[in-house]
Amino acid sequence: MAPPIRAALRPVFDRCYRLDVDGLDHVPRSGPVILAANHRSFFDTPALMVVAPRPVVFLGKAEYMDDWKTRYLFPALGMVPIRRDAARASMAALETAAQLLADGLAIGIYPEGTRSRDGLLHRGQSGVAHLALASGAMVVPVGLIGTDAVQPIGRSVPRLRGHVAVRFAPPLRADDYRAGTSRRRRSHLTADIMAAIASMTDQPVSPSFASDDPPLFRGGSEAVYRVVRREATGASWKHAAQAAVAEACGRYDDARVGEVRRLRCAVSPDGEVRFSTDLAISVRFRGGVQMGTAERAAAMREDHMPMGAASSEGDR
């Protein structure tokens, strides 16, 4: 949610609802983080966005963009639309979330995959754990209470009164889940996320999933990718593109060419014509130690470095 929108809505929430917020100090004020919350109402998203100590981005159904009531509101609140009925929707969601985390943002995800229609806290899907382990982002479990009374399922607008509790648990760090197979790591992290959520809510726990439909975020063996840009120059645009691809393949062990972002042509003072190509390339996310702000900025500068420029470690 954009800061002006959050600032405008917080007084409205304070006036209309009895807010009980606990554990804000558990949310890091900068760097990539996943807020993993129980999902019992449509009101969960605005409630979490407003009370969180930093802007939070949610990935949601692109169908909201087809409804006039939410077409402009949701993007203003910070939602990124994902069309769930499209091919590879789950991977698109994972890759989009991974890119947001690479930019140092906070994203919100509901591990249950959909709203609970029976009031129970359902079994968590492994997509949150898969994303955390692939990106190295920490996970802050969140417990929401009272949102289902403010806006029950089937009610189009929220009530302007009620008690809402938002509780943040200590963060779970991906680096603490490196033992065993990838499936076991995802399972352990998912179990710890859901146990932390259960300890902060009043919901009975169910061993079943909330829905038989596939969730937006799914765990699995798929790799998660982020997008970087590589620029190169050659005697033609074809040669420039080939040089950019070759340079990316030499720098990254798993790169996939996405799209051409920019083509340029310039004549040097000596009359030589040079062609430049700017490519967007997907590279595999590598889980690992969290980067600090300075390290992340350096990595982003390196990802956008034109071919032939030297990094802080020298030419590669």
- Amino acid 278: pLDDT: 79
pLDDT digits (tens, 9 = 90+) for 107-116: 999 999 889 9
Query: What does CATH list as the number for 225-284+286-303?
Result: 3.30.1660.10
Average confidence (pLDDT) over 152-180: 94
| Contact residues for 202 (Cβ-Cβ < 8 A; gap 6+) | 145
Q: What is the pTM of this model?
A: 0.70
Q: In this structure, is the dihedral angle defined by the CA atoms of residues 244, 134, 59 and 49, taken in order, positive or negative?
A: negative
Tell me yes or no: is domain 3-198 CATH 3.40.1130.10.
Answer: yes
Cα 270 to chain centroid, rounded: 48
How close are the terminal C-alpha atoms of the chain, in Å?
A: 39
Q: Is the pLDDT of residue 146 over 90?
A: yes
Average confidence (pLDDT) over 159-179: 95
| Burial class of 177 by CB neighbour count within 10 A (0 to 12, 13 to 18, 19+) | buried
For residue 275, the cross-strand partners are 234, 265
In Å, how far are 44, 152, 154, 255 from 40, measured between CA atoms? 7, 8, 12, 39
What are the extents of the domains in the chain?
3-198, 225-284+286-303
CB atoms closer than 10 angstroms to residue 227:
18
Q: Is the pLDDT of residue 305 over 50?
A: no
DSSP assignments along 186-197, one per residue:
HHHHHHHHHHHH
pLDDT digits (tens, 9 = 90+) for 11-38: 999 999 999 999 999 999 999 999 999 9
For residue 61, the cross-strand partners are 82
3-state secondary structure 255-311: EEEEEEEEEEEEECCCCCEEEEEEEEEEEECCCCCCCCHHHHHHHHHHHCCCCCCCE
Average confidence (pLDDT) over 210-219: 70
pLDDT digits (tens, 9 = 90+) for 220-248: 544 555 667 778 888 887 888 888 878 77
Q: Is the pLDDT of residue 43 over 90?
A: yes
pLDDT digits (tens, 9 = 90+) for 51-97: 999 999 987 766 666 676 667 766 776 777 776 554 455 667 778 88
- Amino acid 260: pLDDT: 75
Average confidence (pLDDT) over 202-209: 94
Name the range with the highest mean pLDDT among 63-77, 87-101, 143-157, 295-309: 143-157
- Amino acid 195: pLDDT: 97
Residue pair 205/198 in contact (Cβ under 8 Å)? The answer is yes
Q: Is the pLDDT of residue 264 over 90?
A: no
